[in-house]
Structure 1
Amino acid sequence: MAPSKIDFDNFPKGPELGEMSDETITENTILVNSQHKNMRLLFVLNTLVQHLHDFAREVRLTTEEWEQGIQFLTDCGHITTDIRQEFVLLSDILGFSVLVDGISHPKPDNATSGTLLGPFHTHDAEEKEHGESIVSEGKGETLLIEGKLTDTNGDPIAGASIDLWHCDKDGFYDTQYENREKADLRGIVKTAEDGSFVIKATKPVPYPIPSDGPVGKLLKLINRHPYRPAHIHFIITKPGYDRLITALYEKGDPFEKSDAVFGVKSKLLYTLDKVGEANAKKYNMDPNDWHLHWDFTIITEKESVDLVRAKNGQALSNDKYNLVLNDNGLPEPAPLD
């Protein structure tokens, strides 16, 4: 196909760029990227360019290293599918996922802490009734999970969705099996009027994050282990409340202090006990099956917005760029008079 003819009379020519050099390329790039009025995008993109260029200057990046970086990102793209996200995994092992969650969703001391999502969440989990199992047969030692969901005043929250998922006894998620036909080891349960929930799962085990891709090769190259402690993922949602992405980790796990993706927080550590006779009879289980009781506390959207605005306002106290907070409480350049 022949290239279309350029209408020079109506073509946006943009600003006139200065001479190109190592010293001026950043200024020129920011100049040409600033031809719009989306102030938040302008701030994010131009700050990224500034830091990216400064990084290259600081480490004196070579062409060969740049090519290796491009190939690494290309490989991440090639291995990514709708049920495997290598870029999320890369973000995780760099500590970036936990950092962004902490900035975007800060929590008061009386609310459940958030942590990273991880690369294995899917959107095909089935909704389960209280006491049902999210796991098919033979996937591990049975675990009963129960608790309550409340707000920061201690009032129960009914009708919230608790989306949970975890690995099997061999350390694999259902999405890691080629013969996967439907969701397994994952499910959604709604909280009752008193905020309670109860669901059957299996006892998770420590496991290595996928090491057959570029992220795994990177960990091996820099002599880092790929293991995560035993844990269970949760996403809790209800209209009017800030979405909670979190996970619970087994206290005393061999990798509790060296999680490959930095997800463990002391407030998220659990200890298992046994189901006991009463629960075993109630839920048709063995008294020696495992039991986990955990109460979650989430905050409202307004509480979240107010907290984000307060945190971001504190971050701007040492601002040197003349930034203001926009309507969403996010920093951006102050409008020019």
Structure 2
Amino acid sequence: MTDSTTRSYPLFSEQNSAEAVNARIGPNVAPRTAQVAAAVVRHLHAAVKEIEPTHEEWLAAIRFLTETGQKCTDWRQEFILLSDVLGVSMLVDAINHRRPGNATENTILGPFFVDGVPTLPAGANICLDGKGEPLVVSGTVSDTEGRPVAGATIDVWQTNDDGYYDVQQKGVQPEGNLRGKFESGAQGEFWFRTVRPRDYPIPDDGPVGKLLATLGRHPNRAAHIHFMIRAPGYETVITHIFSPDCPYLAEDTVFGVKESLIGEFEKVDDAREGKIYGYEGPFWKTARSFVLERSEN
């Protein structure tokens, strides 16, 4: 017998397992928290019923998640890698960035962004280790009406020609190698010098790498340069430029490639043009126009 202040819960069974768990969510829980928790329980229980794991298999899954957490450090987030390789990062990003047709498409941030890098003058060379094929990147920042956005902040970062970000090789690469921050000019213009991006494997020495191998998948990302474009009054854009001839465009391990983000790279072997950009030998050029959507906030 129960009084009016006591809640009655259904008893647990295989058939009503999710309902039994969700019935215990308190009446004063925030609605969004209750919605998310209930959905996770429903889908998790449905997956378990479909898979019918043995006790040993379920313990293996728990060990996998434990090892994933233990692999995390200040600069390496193994759970982000797990989210990335399962396509969840890209799905969450797509849901949260449904933009007008001409606005620049987003892709994933990745785990190696570093905030607070110094602002550099237009034309600065962010390659500090001298490795790789020289590349000039130029472009503009505008709004969806085609008007230039002056003073936009353009953060850029990429791996070096060995396939590592500077934070992965502290004491090996120069600090801040292949990172920079630039501001767009009065007509929204910007440019800088770097090196042509290359494909590289995500860190695969941990549980996520083992998972990929178990699934018969490679750990390679398509060659790209990261960009984050911010301007007051506009939605922040986190995106890439992908190299058009990279063999991993169709099978980027984190599903980050979108057709609109594949760039055009031009090989230049003209001494007069090279002198303009400070190069004595051949180099590459690519241009990209970033289109920002007005913020509703």
Match of 1:298 in 2: 292
Equivalent in 236, 261, 282 of residue 243 of structure 1? 236
Q: Among 208, 213, 216, which residue is 2:201 paired with?
A: 208
2: CA distance between counterparts of 1:43 and 1:239? Answer: 33
Aligned Cα RMSD in Å?
2.0
Q: Is the 1:126–1:183 Cα contact (8 Å) retained in structure 2? A: no
Quote the residue 1:316 is aligned against: none
Kindly state the Cα deviation for residue 97 of structure 1 after the two structures are TM-superposed.
Answer: 1.0
Output the CA distance in 2 between the equivalents of 1:73 and 1:124.
32
**For residue 215 of structure 1, what is the amino acid of its counterpart?**
V
SS of equivalent to 2:20: helix
Match of 2:152 among 148, 160, 163: 160
The 1:242/1:278 distance shift into structure 2, 3 A limit, reads: farther
Q: Does 1:102 align with 2:110?
A: no
Give the corresponding residue for 1:261: 254
User: Contact conserved, 2:10 with 2:23, CA < 8 A, in 1?
Assistant: no
User: Which residue in 2 is equivalent to 1:130?
Assistant: 122
1:280 corresponds in structure 2 to 274
**SS where residue 138 of structure 2 aligns?**
strand
Instruction: Give, in angstroms, the shift of residue 37 of structure 1.
Output: 4.8
Q: 1-side partners of 2:226 and 2:273: how far apart?
A: 23
**TM-score (normalizing by structure 2):** 0.91
Distance in 1, Cα, partners of 2:21 & 2:187 = 56
SS in 1 for 2:249: coil
In the TM superposition, what whole-angstrom CA distance separates every residue of 1:304-337 from its partner, at most 9, and x where no partner exists?
x9xxxxxxxxxxxxxxxxxxxxxxxxxxxxxxxx
Q: Give CA-to-partner distance per residue, 1:46-71, whole Å, 9 cap, x none.
A: 11111111111111122222211111
Q: Tell me the SS of whatever aligns to 1:28.
A: helix
Match of 1:188 among 160, 181, 185: 181
| Identity percentage of aligned residues | 40
Aligned ranges for residues 1-337 of structure 1 at < 5 Å?
Answer: 15-179=7-171, 182-274=175-267, 276=270, 280-286=274-280, 288-302=282-296
Q: Is the 8 A contact 2:141 2:148 kept in 1?
A: yes
CA distance in 2, matches of 1:216, 1:78: 14
Q: Which consecutive residues of structure 1, in runs of 5 or more, have no partner in the other structure?
A: 1-12, 306-337
1:320 counterpart residue number:
none
Q: Deviations over 1:17-74 (max 9, x none)?
A: 3322223332232122243352222212211111111111111122222211111111
Quick one: distance in 1 between partners of 2:249 and 2:45? 37
Paired residue type of 2:222: P
Q: CA deviation at 1:152?
A: 0.5
- Evaluate the alpha carbon distance shift between residue 129 and residue 98 of structure 1 in structure 2; reply closer, same or farther with a 3 A threshold: same
* Aligned pairs, number: 291
Match of 1:331 in 2: none
> Which amino acid in the other structure matches residue 236 of structure 1?
I
Q: Could you tell me how far 1:195 is from its partner in structure 2?
A: 0.6
